[in-house]
Structure 1
Amino acid sequence: MESHTVCTPRQILIINPNSNQEVTKRIQKAADSILESDCEALVLNPSQSPNAIETLYP
């Protein structure tokens, strides 16, 4: 009997906490550019959140 191995890609979930789709797309592009071929990124953001989240440093 012949055995076949099925390799499933490793996955990483990245959650962008703001609702800005352009930022989410840039995060996806950055993740895709650094991950190895056997790993895939799924980048999501909530639909009901602020457009931007910023922190002021003293």
Structure 2
Amino acid sequence: MRRKRSNATITFKSRWQLPIDRYMAKEDLRIATGLSAATIAKIDKDGNVNTDVLARIC
């Protein structure tokens, strides 16, 4: 039996609201969370990231 795959799209646009509210640039967020530039780029492009990454931002 095959499972149907969901086509739901998740966007990270709301994730950028926190740094904006704190007057942080993406580079500041990257340094504060210890994330790599590639991970920040994935979030910016709504790419696949681990939930651990999202937990660091929140």
Measured against the shorter chain, the TM-score band is under 0.3
Bigger RCO (CA 8 Å, 6+ sep): 1
TM-score (norm 1): 0.23
TM-score (norm 2): 0.23
Greater gyration radius = 1
Give the number of the structure whose residues are more often strand, by fraction.
1
Give the number of the structure whose residues are more often helix, by fraction.
2
